[in-house]
Amino acid sequence: MNRKQLFEQIKRKRSYLCVGLDTDIEKIPKHLLKQDDPVFEFNKQIIDATREFCVAYKPNIAFYESLGARGWESLKKTLEYIPKECFTIADAKRGDIGNTSSLYARAFFRQMNFDAITVAPYMGEDSIKPFLAFDGKWVILLAHTSNPGSADFQLLQTREGKFLYEEVIFASQLWASPDQMMYVVGATHEEKIHSIRMLAPDHFFLVPGVGAQGGDLKAVSKFGMNAQCGLLVNSSRAIIYASTKEDFAEAAGREAWKTQKDMDQYLSEYL
């Protein structure tokens, strides 16, 4: 899916919500455990309940990998089940030397057919380039993440007086255009979103940290939105675990709908 198509979906659905499929076998409702593939069954019902309110799904690969080969199958079935008009993100945070990154790209873009993958920048350009070699696919590069530890290195200041995450945004813009690259910018740094938007005016930001992690959707939208929206705001736990009982899908749909209503309003105000 290209940038224009993504923006079309956002306008059509009046939503820039990404639903994070952090599906934990230990947290899903107990009645699903008698199914052949409880993780897929959970995802299927979550997708059915939320698809009209969101434009993207982001399976968190750790949750599937921790189940071994079986988890891999659940992930594959989930990806095939996601409606074609939705943007799909493998939240994998990969990144390795060139020949190895190529294989991760093959895994997520060919073995599976994700639109995008999250990538860690520490190993530099040749660790990222192989992901960009796939036509129509996206790298979502970690810039300033939502977790407390994001301060440890991302906020180190360089001799030029820039934060490390700013250096990452500067350097990586030489490697890929806004049609191939997005940045992860945590909602927990809402005070910085305006300045990050100045650094990368045209890029989409994938914004985690709204909901369970405490970020504020209104502030993120006000300071982060650009002329093509430029935001995919992720919510995982607040939606998929809105209820832990048999009504989990209905509850997830309701949460997603509430978020979409807010987004509808912010699109009217800030776009």
Q: Give the range of 7-15, 46-54, 141-149, 219-227 binding a second copy by CB under 8 A.
A: 141-149
One of 31, 122, 179, 245 touching a second copy (CB under 8 A) = 122
Residues in the chain: 271
Tell me: does residue 94 bind a second copy (CB under 8 A): yes
What is the distance between the alpha carbons of residues 34 and 252, in angstroms, rounded to a whole number?
21
Taking each helix axis from N to C terminus, what angle separates 125-132 and 98-105, rounded to the nearest 10 degrees?
A: 30
Tell me: does residue 214 bind a second copy (CB under 8 A): no
Q: Any catalytic annotation for residue 93? A: yes
Q: Give the range of 32-40, 103-111, 132-140, 257-265 binding a second copy by CB under 8 A.
A: 103-111
Tell me: does residue 167 bind a second copy (CB under 8 A): yes
Angstrom distances, CA of residue 40 to CA of 21, 43, 72, 87: 10, 5, 10, 18
152 Cβ contact partners less than 8 Å away, ≥ 6 residues apart? none
- For 7, phi then psi, to 5°, come to -65, -40
One of 49, 55, 132, 164 touching a second copy (CB under 8 A) = 164
Tell me: does residue 88 bind a second copy (CB under 8 A): no
Q: In terms of CB distance, is 48 or 73 closer to a second copy? A: 73
Angstrom distances, CA of residue 142 to CA of 32, 125, 145, 149: 34, 13, 6, 13
* Tokens describing residue 24: 């934990």
Q: Give the range of 43-51, 147-155, 218-226, 256-264 binding a second copy by CB under 8 A.
A: 147-155
Please, what is the Cα angle at 186 between 256 and 119, to 5 degrees? 100
Q: How far is the CB of 71 from a second copy (least distance, A)?
A: 8
Tell me: does residue 98 bind a second copy (CB under 8 A): yes
Q: Give the range of 9-17, 33-41, 144-152, 190-198 binding a second copy by CB under 8 A.
A: 144-152
* Tokens describing residue 153: 């290195």
What is the distance between the alpha carbons of residues 242 and 132, in angstroms, rounded to a whole number?
36
In the region spanning residues 19 to 78, those forming contacts with a second copy, defined by CB under 8 A, are 22, 24, 60, 62-63, 65-70, 72-73, 76
Return residues touching a second copy (CB under 8 A).
22, 24, 60, 62-63, 65-70, 72-73, 76, 91, 93-101, 103-104, 106-107, 111-112, 120-128, 142, 145-154, 156-159, 161, 164, 167-168, 171, 213
